[in-house]
Structure 1
């Protein structure tokens, strides 16, 4: 099997389509480089509720709002169970999985919102300067529930309507979390157990 590590822009599939054993969620950029974001299959790339880390301990290098791979490497180097799990994943030959950053997990919410409930519209929930095109704050109706049955609430690939960890730290005691119910983005205590999922990215070429 040939592993997909880059893709031409013209060959990008529709949102939710299979891409490199995961599901295409959209595009984002890091320092001007363009990437396609891929969410792992639920059966192989999801972790049961687990702590992000130790409250009160600041992990150097885990602060990026967009570069989840860099964050995850920093977590693993610090001995994090969650970071080590993500980097050790091997799914059908793909071994470049990591925990999505704050902006990456927001993009996942827009692509695969599981519920039909209204979105949370507080302090700039949904603001995502890293996504392509840039994401603007949610309205009550947008984004809408995904039209893809497999990702809708109760579907085999659906995210639970709860908070998931991101890899983005928010100071010594907190890290960013993303709700897949109404979509609020906030900081959660590092010692609180929450589920997590893995993503990977591939470079998009002209």
Structure 2
């Protein structure tokens, strides 16, 4: 087999927002430890859940990854997170490997599916995503813009609500990363807060 053939992706890369793998293709991340690339697939709005991330003041080992949504969620579930357990129990389109999105996987959801026309939050790391392909840059007022995908625009069937959603990436014993889907603010919410989750799954490219 030629080097070119060996380098060819194992799967065809879909278009952003294309129905794929039980949900909608939302971008590519690279595992910083292994270098492997993954397609990320976002579940439809009908599968959103609401709940606490975990217990305030309790640090969960194994839930710190910015890219491995599944490992984070499994660690959360093992520690007793009901929200994580509910996500792991999902069967959507015959796929059962759903997870709460890791921080940099969630950033792609906002980058490509931003529902509103609000000015973007410009503070901290909001928008910075070294593990995405292409690499994500800090937000500006205008970038990212409201998605051009009609189904994900505010009020449409698949749109994110302009409120806070959990990621599975733990920040400390007291809070975990979240994102507000009105303006893209990435911050840390207290773990015992009730926030939404839009599940994801991933598929290895190479």
TM-score interval for Structure 1 and Structure 2 normalised by the shorter chain: over 0.9
Q: What is the distance in 1 between the residues matched to 2:185 and 2:204?
A: 28
After the TM superposition, which parts of structure 1 deviate over 3 Å for at least 4 consecutive aligned residues? 7-10
Corresponding residue number in structure 1 for 2:185? 184
TM-score, normalised to structure 1's length? 0.92
Of 49, 55, 61, the match for 1:47: 49
Q: Residue by residue, what CA displacement relative to the aligned partner does 1:128-158 show, whole Å, maximum 9, x if unpaired?
A: 0110111010110000000111100000000
> How far apart, CA to CA, are the structure 1 residues paired with 2:154 and 2:39?
24
Does residue 35 of structure 1 match 2:38?
yes
Please list, as runs of the form range in 1=range in 2, the aligned pairs for 1:66-145 lying within 5 A after superposition: 66-145=67-146
Give 1:83 shift: 1.0
More strand by percentage:
1
Aligned residues: 197
Could you tell me how far apart the structure 2 residues matched to 1:119 and 1:9 are?
Answer: 35
Q: For 1:38-70, what per-residue CA distance to the aligned partner results, in whole angstroms no more than 9, with x for missing partners? A: 000111x2103x111110111111111221111
- Write the distance in 1 (CA, Å) between the matches of 2:99 and 2:49: 12
Q: Which residue of 1 aligns with 2:3?
A: none
Q: In the aligned structure 1, how far is the partner of 2:193 from the partner of 2:155?
A: 25
Q: How does 1:141-180 map to 2 (within 5 A)?
A: 141-180=142-181
**Counterpart in the other structure of 1:13:** 14
Distance 2:196 2:113 in 1: 16
Shift of 1:92: 2.0
Runs of 5+ unmatched residues, structure 1: 1-6
Q: TM-score, normalised by structure 2?
A: 0.92
Is the contact made by 2:11 and 2:205 (CA closer than 8 Å) also made in structure 1? no
Q: Alignment partner of 2:58: what SS? A: coil
RMSD, matched Cα: 1.3
Q: Look up the match of 2:62.
A: 61
Q: State the match for 2:4 in structure 1.
A: none
Please state how far the C-alpha of 1:14 moved relative to its aligned partner.
Answer: 1.0
Q: Which residue of 1 aligns with 2:198?
A: 197
Contact 2:52 2:81 in 1 (8 A): no
CA–CA distance in structure 1, aligned partners of residues 127 and 175 of structure 2: 19
Paired with 1:197 and 1:85, the residues of 2 have a C-alpha distance of 12
